[in-house]
Structure 1
Amino acid sequence: MIDRGIYRRASVMMLGASLLTIAMTAPAGAQELAAAPSAGAPEAGEVVVTGSRIQRRDAATVGPLLTITADDIAKSGSVSPGDLLQKLPSAGVSLNSNGTQGTSYGASSINLRYLGGSEGSGNRVLVLVDGHRWVDAVGQRGFRDFVDLNTIPMGMIEGMEVLKDGASAIYGADAIAGVVNIKTIRPFDGIRGSTRMGVTDKGDGSEYSATLNVGKRFGRASIILSGSYYESKAIRTDARPLTTTSLVPVTAPGTSPSGLYILPGLSSNGYFGTRPGFAGSSAPIALNTPGTLYGSGASADNAFHTAALPGDYYNTQAQGIYSAGPSQRYGFYGRFDYELADNLNFKFEGLYNERKSDQLFSPVLLDIGGTAGTVRGFYIPNNQAFNPFGTANGVPTANALAFGANSAFRVRKVMTDVGNRDNIQDVQTWRIAAGLDGSFKLFGNNWHWDAFGSYAKNSIQSTALNGINYDNLYLSLGNPATCAATAGCVPVNLFGPMTPAQADYIRFTTRESNYTELWNGTVNATGTLFNLPAGEVALAVGYEYRRNRGVDNPDAIANAPSLYLNNALYTKTTAQTRTATRGSYDLHEVYGELSVPVLKDSPVGKSLDLSLAGRYSRYSTVGGKATFKGGLGYRPVEGVLLRGTYAQGFRAPSILELYQGARQTSFQGSDPCNGGAAANAGKPGCVGVPAGYNQANYNLNGLIPGVISGNRNLRPETSDSISAGVALTPLHGLSITVDYYNIKIKNAIASQSPTQIMQLCAQRAGAFCELVQRDASTGAIINLLQGAQNLNSIKTDGVDATVRYDFTTGVGRFGAVVDASWLGSFRTVSPDPATGGTIVDDRAGKGDQPRATYPRWKGQASLNWDGEGANATLRARYIGSTTDVANPVKDARTKAVTYIDAEVGFDVGEGRTRFGIGVNNLFDTQPPASYANAPINYDIYTYDARGRFLYARFSVKL
């Protein structure tokens, strides 16, 4: 268990502590909001776009807004909102279905500007559906504090808008990095259906999706019913060269099904005739082959040999584990709209969505012993049924060896007889909502109002198969009389193959659940206050109430202390433990937004518009805070828009950040003390680490055991965001936008990454090492403590640019888009307890930490052609190069990659039916190799290892 005092002290001390050379991919046709309507375009009706609550005819001054239409989605080659949004150049590392070694567990997030929490959680991006909040995600190991995009069925989506700008004053907390608003299908008459099937050119990773929407308008009413289905199959790590073997070199025999045994008493044993050092700590022994049956009596040792490379190399990556796990989703959405009166409308909507997913891991890497090993206090008496050096194997009592709890015996073994560990999730989402809206006259002007209320719940039942029950293992290895007297106890063979009954006795299945709930109510009004010479002064005002709740119910057995081992240190099973979590908060908010036309058709410019917004939020947890946003849009001449915004942001600590109980986990990261103190002479924090220490030989193939915990003393974080840009429409159909952004988050709620914690300990020692606990005899890290803190600040800036050109020729209409993002800086500034100063970590251009790739350049491009009854799309996506960890097997760079997609489609029956075939990743580009992300060898939240993917899709409108 954790020394909480050390944790609190240490955490407070430390944690408080060539794009233009290619064509790059955008969602086909996705467009940056243009500066002005094209010449000759029909006058639009009043609309509300993301980034403003005010209904207006011309919303072009809102800010850097990306709009994605239904046609864009259809041509994107994507089958989920997350898949589509994560390809945007402004998106950072985001949770997806890739990899067994992630924290996604089937969820999908969107992380704009890299500002989400740990590993792309996206908790600083506000995800809305029709302008209203969505319920938080759940997970395999506790609930989350971001929206899981896989809980939103694809069939209900008509379009999306992405505001790449802070908007807390307009929408409330969580909108520091930006806003994603998903728009649902509008009323229609008829039937719309689509289906898509695809598979990689290797024959794995197949996908199938289908949507069916039925709409009917009758009189004053309309109804929409939507159904969505998606299924994907797994891709194994041994199915791709990149992921088959870890890049980290193996320098000593690792754990395998043949075992690694340190057995005091076998060295120079006269009865068995063993040589000096046999089965000693520096020369562990292994079974000759995994299925070997050892001989009886004095010949027992003949079945074992001193483990050595290359013969005893074993690759857990090739044991059927998933590079991309299977997933199945189905969802139903319905909405009923009714015009109660000429100026009064009612709507009611309901949703149910279910996701089933799983991730396959290698079998448990057991590491037990007496005074050695990861879990200690075991013993094996000389009369245990499967002790090859004991009396049950024909060894005389005088010569039989016992391995006591007070001796340094150690058994390490891959438990293939128990089976691969398999994490399974069943996630269910319910949502009901109702709203009224209407219009009225005020001050002689038209006003619109709406009232909305919703309740949503997201819940998960999770299962983790094929763990180990330490208590049962203790009984099965210990005194035969005690085992015989215990109901169900079966003696277990750790020195050879197990029987199914033995594996069943020590096998453990973890069963857990958690859920999140959201109650949300809003009232809004928008209209014209009065007229100025330049136009209407418009106002939007509103009130919002929200209550968020989360409950986590971990497995009681997995979290109970062992009955037989030292229960101050160990629990009953190999399952990662955590304390139960529950918490809630509620808040009240009021806001106002004002749009003021200052100039129109004046000698100094075509127009000048001012927008102002303010919001006051009062949380039950952290009190109240006011935020402000201001923006200017200036057109000196037709076709040129200069725009800029300043926005304050505010984010209260989430339920997860406040109340999450201490949770065991396995961190991915490279131990800077690998090789021991002698090999790291310049690192004072490595003093005492034995020579030859190899991280890969400990705890699940080198993963770092640790604990994550919430912090009830967190303060809210605030932010200041500045954006400035220009939007040009020099030609009909041509638009060019360039926007600079600068965001600073103060009192940022964040955690040092495991790699940062280990590096600070190694390089600076002292207080920095209080979060890193090592085994004194082996040097292995046995516990790394990580917790949320209010770090000093996070600062980032960069530039977004988009060029779009639509034109018509004699052979059809063409559309071209190039969308690029440049990351200028991404700095985390935290206190340095050693000097009293600060520690600055600039991540821009780096990829030397697991699942944290920050390329300077990212981009997309597309070229679309629409002809008579046919169309074609060519897309490209570019991810720039980054640094890698200095390592012995490759250079310290992660190369840039470009993905190319293509699709052709044909219309039949006057456009009512469409058939398309396409290929994603046409040239089978694999992710760039990354030593920092070993053993999977690539950043699973930035790239995917699927490779070339072929698909066909069919859609119909009746």
Structure 2
Amino acid sequence: MTVLNPRALRAGAAYAALMAGMITAPAMAQVSTSAGAVPPSDVVEEIIVVGSRIQRKDADSVGVVTTLTEQDIKQSGAGSVGELLQKLPSAGVSLSSNGTQGTSYGASSINLRYLGGAEGSGNRVLVLVDGHRWVDGVGQRGFRDFVDLNTMPLGMIEGVEVLKDGASAIYGADAIAGVVNIKTARDFDGLKVQAKYGGTTHGDGQTYSGVANFGKRFDKSALLVSLSYVKDKPILTSSRDLTRVTLVPATAPGTSPNGLFILPGLSNNAYFGTASGFASSSAPVAFNAGATIGAGGLADNAFHTAALPGDYYNTQAQGIYSTGPSERYGVYARWTTDISDKVRFKGEALFNQRKSDQLFSPVLLDIGGSAGTIRGFAIPASQAYNPFGTANGVPTANALAFAANSAWRIRKVMTDVGNRDNVQDVKTYRVAGGFDGELNLLGRDWKWDVYALYSKNKIDSEARNGVNYDKLALGLGPNCASTAGCVAINLFSGMTAEQAAYIRYTARETNETEIYDLSANITGELFQLPAGPLSIAAGYEHRKNKASDTPDPYVNALPTNIPTPAAGSAYASNTTTTAQTRSATKGQYTLDEIYAEAAIPLLKDVPLAKSLDISLAARYSDYDTVGGDSTLKAGLGWRPIQDILVRGTYAQGFRAPSILELYQGGRQTSFQGTDPCNGGASANPNLPGCVGVPTGYNQANYNLNGLIAGTIAGNTKLKAETADTYSAGVAIKPRFAPGLSLTVDWYQITVHDAIASQSATQILSLCAQRGGIFCDLVTRDASTGAITNLLQGVQNLAEIKTSGVDSTLRYEFSNDLGRFAAVLDTSYLESFKTTSPNAAGGAPIVDERAGKGDQPRATYPHWKGQASFSWTDGQWNALWRGRYIGSTTDVVNTVKDAKTKAIFYNDLEGGYQFDKRDASISVGVSNIFDKAPPASYANAPINYDIYTYDARGRFGYVRVSAKF
């Protein structure tokens, strides 16, 4: 089998350059723990640090690694490993908050370098647990293609290593942006317990967590059992000034429980006494709250022409979650035993369950005959609750009917049905086991391991309090009276409990992901060189990933009481309920991989080279979906003197398209974005794509207050994406200042044939600015200008290229007042460019995102940083922590400036360690100045990027722990 390819040949030239000293490469692990961490033990043993498979007695030849210890995790104030990782300066927008303004649905992700394939997905970050793969996540509307960190029980996690460097050659696909390795708890004797309680000073967002770890060492064996529990309570958007009301000003009456009615035939109707324009498209009417509809010609007295400010209604305050509730239970067990002096066995089992939900506003109904979002409805003159019909005493000659081919429209907030509620029940199962040991080969000692695992994620979800359009059509139409069980529906005033129950619908669906993995590794010293041993590692991995998605069959069925496309009606609908439709998805892929890695010392203790080391790695991956490819990595570390390390890497990356990207069926969704054609063609004369959009068109008046109706789909013609990563840096530890260290590292990552999709705003902007074929993905209603569908499909874009600089300054010292530690960790995003092919020909389309925040949930500040200062003296300790997120641009608007301001958070914690039972108590306050997220017009209606900031505010907590 031939494994060389043009990229491999290019890498060969790069190696020659490296050998010539033209590039510097990886070397020392940057152990960037937060201040206050427990000092490392002086015991020297062979270790593996993420970024290398080679075991060694030091980490100085490995790439730049940030290590978070058990103490760091405790003192972070975070309630989950996801929350902790997302605060790293190198982390981009990541799924968090479990709110109703995103696609988290209770999941948590880590997205290093902003390179996730979709908002917050993190599918270019490889997440490992003790060096082994974890199963992909599941979601409310289909499975995921990245690891959900909330599927890991809190108690099993003892530390985290983050490699901010490409590592496909060492670990395989998905490691383009970096690697996160979760380290499980070590074996011990006894019982460790920890409990934590916290809440905001606003009286909400309470969190409870508890961990109980039991360990027992036997003569040649050890047992560990960990139990975890976490519960988070919600925060409502109505509970914070920033999120209470959308920043987008109301320019016309919006949807409310009183409804907005366009009823042709009422305008200037002499029988009902209505004025000209009454209940027309230019002057919709609303029901008078609390009124009783009069009989006959008095019916119209219960309605008035809707106008601001009297008919303003804030759907944002109807119980929507800024942060939703979540409850997680987890158990992790591990058994290790010595089979012989040279062979050990390890077996693991895990179960984790997460229950979460997100509360939305009630359904914002928008139906009609030949108008409205969902069309084909009809209300006959004889309908029981038609106030302008015969059932209300109107003579037959004057009675009004609203036919399927008439442009009538009713918009209404369905408060009688109740708030929509998405509920998730996620179960994670994992069993794994393997052998490891030592052997003597070629006169040298080698270490080996063989490991197999199976894991599965499964979700059962519900979307409660939706509306069954098919039953609604029957309850409004002429056949209700003759249909058994039908309940006539009143949309003109309040509904009864029986009516609401008849049209209420709960969508139920399930999806799951699975992984089968077998790996084998060997590492040792091949032979001795003048500067030290040449160490190598090699291995093989076989993996199968499977996923399936089973949506609600009724949701995806065609309606029977509304004209469908098959019926040939010009006003047809193919939607049965308010739940979003999608096709079932099922897929899998299998791959085999081999790799080899070498650490080669070239010089040691010679003039101008205290040490000079290179590391090389190569991997060949063979997928049954996209074929095979090889990846290479090279690094060089040079110490001109003991105090200074110059390092750098060149690494190739490879990522095959995921099951989701390949096979995802068409999924109906609603995008958050800005329509450049707002106001119509007359208001945008310089935008060719807005031609034909009616004057006065207002995006906020359509599809749930301005959300954009759309469809997402996979692409079976995708090819693998590749990447080239360069990094160079310096680490300084001056001997004249013990405890002081500085690291500065530059990186550049270029992803070729990147698998991605353009955002809704990007698609609309291209259509507006260029027109023609760029508008093929946007479908509008010709009469209103409303977007009826925006197609967003994944594709191989030309390129994603990002670059920046990371730096860490650390100083630890002691004096008569105690031990102090200070850390400053910063990340500068120099550039983040996405280059897309120009469908019309000509130069490619380049989108530079660095420094911008003008798209929903996509904030890319140039600067991010963390700082901490800790003090320990005997049994007392204290910690200050600061976090900075720089400013970005915002959408140009009339409400605020086109800028999202920088923010600086401050946290404090103090604690005491008791003499007995290793007991401790800590009290802390996060965000002590109660800083709200900076306002962002682009992220209306919640008004801030929920994947970058949180609206929790000041949060206090107390944590206790003990060992028995």
TM class by smaller structure: over 0.9
Paired position in structure 2 for 1:81: 81
1:380–1:477 CA contact under 8 A, matched in 2 = yes
2:934 maps to amino acid: P
> Could you give the per-residue CA deviations for residues 546-593 of structure 1, whole angstroms, max 9, x where no partner exists?
100000000000001111223224221111000000000010000000
Residue in 1 aligned with 2:326? 327
Q: What is aligned with 1:111? A: 111
Q: CA deviation at 1:692?
A: 1.1
* Equivalent pair of 1:370/1:377 in contact (CA under 8 Å): yes
Answer yes or no: is the 8 Å Cα contact 1:261–1:412 preserved in 2. Answer: yes
Could you tell me which amino acid in structure 1 is paired with residue 126 of structure 2?
L
**In 2, Cα distance between equivalents of 1:751 and 1:691:** 31
| Structure 1 equivalent of residue 682 of structure 2 | 678
| Corresponding letter in the other structure for 1:658 | L
Deviations 1:870-895 (A, max 9, x none): 10110010000000000010000000
Residues 911/816 of structure 1: CA separation in 2 closer, same or farther (3 Å cut): farther
In the alignment, is residue 552 of structure 1 matched against residue 549 of structure 2? yes
- Look up the equivalent residue of 1:517 and give its one-letter code: E
C-alpha distance in 1, partners of 2:457/2:806?
35
Q: What's the RMSD between the two structures over aligned residues? A: 1.3
CA distance in 2, matches of 1:60, 1:532: 18
2:902 matched residue in structure 1: 896
Q: Which residue of 1 aligns with 2:622?
A: 618
How many Å separate the matches in 1 of 2:850 and 2:109? 21
Instruction: Give the residue type in structure 1 aligned to 2:558.
Output: P
Matched ranges for 1:42-81 at <5 A: 42=42, 44-81=44-81
The Cα shift of 1:828 comes to 0.2
Equivalence map 1:436-451=2 (5 Å)? 436-451=435-450
Deviations 1:877-921 (A, max 9, x none): 000000000001000000000111110001112571000110010
- Residue 20 of structure 1: aligned partner: none
DSSP 3-state at the match of 2:761:
helix
Deviation at 1:148, TM superposition (A): 0.1
Tell me which residue corresponds to 1:12. none
In 2, the alpha carbon distance for the partners of 1:664 and 1:292 equals 38
Matched, 1:779 2:785: yes
Matches within 5 A, 1:764-843: 764-843=770-849
Structure 2 CA distance for aligned equivalents of residues 709 and 373 of structure 1? 25
**1:387-443 Cα deviation digits (max 9, x unpaired):** 001111111111111111111111110100001100000000000000100001122
The C-alpha deviation readout for 1:828-870, integer Å capped at 9, x for no partner, is 0011122332000000000000000000000001111111111
Q: Are the equivalent residues in 1 in contact too, given 2:471–2:561 (CA < 8 A)?
A: no
- Which residue of structure 2 lines up, in the alignment, with residue 19 of structure 1? none
Distance 1:60 1:135 in 2: 31
Structure 2 residue aligned with 1:463: 462
Match of 1:347 in 2: 346
Aligned pairs for 1:292-371 within 5 A: 292-371=291-370
| Structure 1 letter corresponding to 2:508 | R
Mapping 1:532-551, distance limit 5 Å: 532-551=529-548
> In 2, are the aligned partners of 1:98 and 1:944 still within 8 Å (CA)?
no
Give 3-state SS (helix, strand or coil) of 2:361's partner: coil
Residues 757 and 794, structure 2, Cα contact 8 Å, conserved in 1:
yes
- List runs of 5+ in structure 1 lacking aligned partners: 1-25
Measured after TM superposition, the shift of residue 691 of structure 1 is 1.2
Greater mean deviation of Cα atoms: 903-912 or 70-79: 903-912
Query: Percent of counterpart pairs with the same letter?
Result: 65
CA distance in 2, matches of 1:160, 1:833: 44
> Can you list the C-alpha shifts for 1:130-162, whole angstroms capped at 9, x where unaligned?
000000000000000000000011100111100
Counterpart for residue 182 of structure 2 = 182
- Whether 1:886 aligns to 2:883 is no
2-structure distance, mates of 1:29, 1:463? 43
- Residue 42 of structure 1 and its aligned partner are, at CA, apart by 4.0
Q: Where in structure 2 are there 5+ consecutive unaligned residues? A: 1-31, 566-572
* Count of residues in Structure 1 that have an aligned counterpart in Structure 2: 924
Q: Counterpart in 2 of 1:385? A: 384
Deviation string 1:692-744 (CA, Å, 9 cap, x unpaired) is: 11111110111000000000000000000001000110121111100000000
Q: 2:705 aligns with which of 701, 704, 715?
A: 701
Q: Out of 714, 734, 746, which is 2:718 matched to? A: 714
Q: CA deviation at 1:99?
A: 2.4
2:575 equivalent in structure 1: 571
Rounded Cα–Cα distance in structure 1 between residues aligned with 2:915 and 2:76: 23
The normalised TM-score by structure 2 is 0.95
**In structure 2, what is the Cα distance between the partners aligned to 1:62 and 1:720?**
19
Displacement of 1:333 in angstroms is 0.1
Which residue of structure 2 aligns with residue 590 of structure 1? 594
The aligned counterpart of 2:451 is: 452
- Aligned partners of 1:513 and 1:554 also within 8 Å: yes
Which residue is equivalent to 2:11? none
* 1:646 partnered with 2:645: no
My pick for the range that moved more, 458-467 or 557-566, is: 557-566
Q: Which residue of 2 aligns with 1:223?
A: 223
For residues 98 and 424 of structure 2, the distance between their equivalents in structure 1, rounded to whole angstroms, comes to 15
User: What letter matches 1:733 in structure 2?
Assistant: G
Distance 1:911 1:88, change over 3 A: farther
Provide Cα deviations, 1:919-953, integer angstroms capped at 9, x if missing partner.
01000010000000000100000000000001101
Contact kept? 1:483, 1:490, Cα under 8 Å = yes
Q: Distance in 1 between matches of 2:692 and 2:245?
A: 31
Shift in Å, 1:27 = 6.8
Distance 2:481 2:393 in 1: 20
Structure 1 counterpart of 2:3:
none
Contact 2:540 2:595 (C-alpha < 8 Å) held by counterparts: yes
Residue 658 of structure 1 aligns to a residue whose secondary structure is helix
Report Cα offsets for 1:427-486 as digits up to 9, x if no partner.
Answer: 00000000100001122221000000000000000000011111100110011xx21232
Whether the 8 Å contact between 1:805 and 1:816 is mirrored in structure 2 is: yes
Three-state SS of the structure 2 residue aligned to 1:118 is coil
The one-letter code of the counterpart of 2:941 is P
Name the amino acid aligned to 1:477.
Answer: L
Partner of 1:527: 524
Residues 509-534 of structure 1 show CA distances to partners (whole Å, capped at 9, x for unaligned) of 00000000000110000001000110
Q: 1:425 to 1:833 in 2, by over 3 A?
A: same
SS in 2 for 1:376: coil
> Which of residues 741, 756, 761 is equivalent to 1:755?
761
- Corresponding residue number in structure 1 for 2:91: 91
> Matched residue of 1:636: which SS?
strand
Q: Which amino acid aligns with 1:531?
A: Q
Cα offset, 1:766, TM superposition: 0.3
Provide the secondary structure at the position in 1 that maps to 2:762. Answer: helix
Q: Contact between 2:61 and 2:599, CA under 8 Å: does it hold in 1?
A: no
SS of residue matched to 1:475: helix
8 Å Cα contact 1:443-1:530 kept in structure 2: no
Letter in 2 for 1:138: V
Contact 1:134–1:147 (CA<8 Å) still a contact in 2?
yes
| Matched-pair contact (CA < 8 Å) for 1:235–1:322 | yes
Q: Tell me the equivalent position of 2:10.
A: none
Aligned to 2:739: 733
Whole-Å Cα distance in 2 between the matches of residues 42 and 565 of structure 1? Answer: 75
Q: Which moved more, 1:391-400 or 1:216-225?
A: 391-400
Give deviations 1:48-101, integer Å, cap 9, x for gaps: 100000001121231211011111111111121101000000000000124201
Q: Is the 2:36–2:871 contact (alpha carbons within 8 Å) kept by the matching residues of 1? A: no
Return the TM-score normalized by structure 1: 0.95
Q: Give the drift of 1:808.
A: 1.2
Which residue of 1 is the match for residue 962 of structure 2?
956
Q: Which residue of 1 aligns with 2:212?
A: 212
- 1:629 shift after superposition: 0.2
